[in-house]
Amino acid sequence: MLNISSIKKFVEENFSHFGINKKNEISRLFYEISKRQNINFLKIIKNLKDKNFSYIKKILLKRRYPYTLLNEKEPRFYLPVLDIHPENKFPIKKFKLYPKRIYIEKELKNISFVKRFKRNFSKAEFITIPSLKDYLKAHRYDLKDYNQRKDNFFIVKERYDFFKKCPCTKSAINCNYFILNLGFGCPYECIYCYLQEYTNSPGIIIPSNLEDFFRYFKRFKKSSKLRIGSGEFTDSLFLNDITGYSASLIDFFKDYPDVYFEFKTKSKNINYLLKSKPYKNIVVSWSLNPQKIIKECEFYTADLKERIESAVICTQAGFKVGFHFDPIIYYSGWQRDYKEVVDYLFDNIKEDRISWISLGTLRFNPRLKKIIENRFPENRILDEEFIFGFDNKLRYPRTLRFNIYKKMLGFIRKRAKYVWVYLCMEEKVIWQALENRDRHQFL
């Protein structure tokens, strides 16, 4: 990790006449440029010492955001205080899904759902708590605890938040998706995962009362078609062999043929799901990325090959499948690698087995930036150019996003003429520009 204290010290000593905010911005730019270009920050400041702040900032921004400054009008940059602490770093170890403690809300302690966890994790400590709400009131958590979250499972009765419309993002075209909240938290470690923002989460929360959702859904469902998925706040399948969710969900949704239910995963954990009969409206989907990104950014998830092999097995069993190129991560060489993934996908799976493919470039709330820097200080994804986007999330510049989608769509259309491709959380101008190229293929 770069020596942040020496950058700060240097700035303090050499730019002592600047106010605190200016010093913070200069330190931040020194840090990001030296990380991105892999050079000592002292090399950056040659000839800058005696200049005024605006001049220095302009020179540094040019060096940090060369693409943006050539291609975007009035970009807004995010230059937060450098605040990275080694004790927050996530220690990447061998992965084993075996919680040390399983907390159970007291009213659930004798239900069969809990017994399944007792059978499967007999060495874990089982602890009865009055309720998750009470437990949270009495405990505080921070980033260091978040690193240990897979040691703690919480089996709860979901009372408020089982089902809702995907909030999408401000000013984006939404794809009319609904979320079934089948738990909160995930044992995998994707560097970019937005769940990291919930560092007050004490562990992985697992609801036990799916029947309450079914009761609610029967009342809620009117006549229109729906798409629902359970992979928003967790991975849909990582614990499926123990929770048994897929059997109940498939059994329930088979009677709603106009509702598409999606299990979204980065795992290869399909054996239990395959025990159910397939129906046309049940879709099993995988997020896809080049193996380089999986290896560097999606720790503990299944390899690309394992994801595609699992998808092939699901199609052979009669299931429909979906794929999400989301987040698409930009780096030098991305085009070649993503084209290879698209080709690999269609070499193995016929277009008519695929219900949908989504595309979404990496974006995140500004506050996630510091969390990623702390947990994964060696990450390379933040070295690219992120600026405030239309929804105030940090995004690649618009022209770059458009070019990425155009290329991806081209790769896909070369192999599959009709599969439904949609953009996730993107703004109208990009949809419109792409629709002109790919008429009638979006929703």
Q: Which spans of this chain sit near ligand SF4 (rule: CB under 6 A)?
A: 186, 188-190, 193, 195, 234-235, 266, 301
Least gap, CB of 67 to ligand SF4 (angstroms): 26
| Cβ closest to ligand SF4, residue 146 vs residue 279 | 146
- Residue 353 DSSP one-character state: G
According to DSSP, the β-strands at 363-364 and 259-265 are: unpaired
| Residue closer to ligand SF4 (CB basis): 193 or 387 | 193
Minimum CB separation from ligand SF4 for residue 177, in Å?
Answer: 16
Closest approach of ligand SF4 to the CB of residue 377, in Å: 18
Q: Which is nearer to ligand SF4, 281 or 287 (CB)?
A: 287
DSSP 197: G
User: Toward ligand SF4, which CB reaches closer, 23 or 324?
Assistant: 324
Identity at 297, one-letter amino acid code: C
Residue 113, amino acid: F
* Closest distance of CB 351 from ligand SF4, Å: 26
Q: Which is nearer to ligand SF4, 227 or 307 (CB)?
A: 307
Instruction: Give the Cα separation of 404 and 62 in Å (integer).
Output: 23
Residue 81 to residue 293: CA distance in whole angstroms: 28
CB of 305 to ligand SF4, least distance (A): 17
Give the residue among 226, 255, 241, 240 at the shortest CA–CA distance from 163: 226
Q: How far is the CB of 264 from ligand SF4 (least distance, A)?
A: 8
Closest CA to 196 of 364, 368, 365, 78: 368
Question: By C-alpha distance, which of 67, 5, 6, 9 is closest to 36?
Answer: 67
CB of 197 or CB of 351, closer to ligand SF4? 197
**Residue 69 or 143 having the CB closest to ligand SF4:** 143
Q: Can you say how many angstroms the Cα of residue 46 is from the centroid of all Cα atoms in its chain?
A: 39
Q: How far apart are CA 135 and CA 105, in angstroms?
A: 10
Q: Output DSSP code: residue 80.
A: P
**Which residue, 189 or 385, is less far from ligand SF4 as judged by CB?**
189
- DSSP secondary structure code for residue 438 in this structure: S
Query: Is residue 131 a contact partner of residue 231, using CB atoms and an 8 Å limit?
Result: no
Q: Which helix (H) or strand (E) segment is 124 a member of?
A: none
32 versus 189: smaller Cβ distance to ligand SF4: 189
Nearest CB to ligand SF4, comparing residues 24 and 147? 147
For the bound state, the minimum distance from the C-beta of residue 234 to ligand SF4, rounded and expressed in Å, comes to: 6
What distance, in Å, lies between the first and last C-alpha atoms of the chain? 45
CB of 135 to ligand SF4, least distance (A): 22
CB 290 within 8 A of CB 338: yes
Copy the structure tokens of residue 418.
């009709």
Amino acid in the structure at residue 198 = Y
Q: Is 5 exposed, middle or buried (0-12, 13-18, 19+ CB in 10 A)?
A: exposed
CB of 301 to ligand SF4, least distance (A): 6
Q: Is 175 helix (H, G, I), strand (E, B) or coil?
A: coil
* Min separation Cβ 363 and ligand SF4, Å: 13
Structure token pair of residue 180: 């079934």
Q: Closer to ligand SF4 at the Cβ: 301 or 315?
A: 301
CA–CA dist 74, 371 (Å, integer): 27
DSSP sequence for 297-311: HEETSPPHHHHHHHH
Instruction: Indicate the DSSP class of residue 264.
Output: E
With respect to ligand SF4, which residue has the nearer C-beta, 291 or 335? 291
Euclidean distance between CA atoms 259 and 271, whole angstroms: 24
Quote the least distance from Cβ 343 to ligand SF4, whole Å.
24
Nearest distance, CB of residue 266 and ligand SF4, angstroms: 4
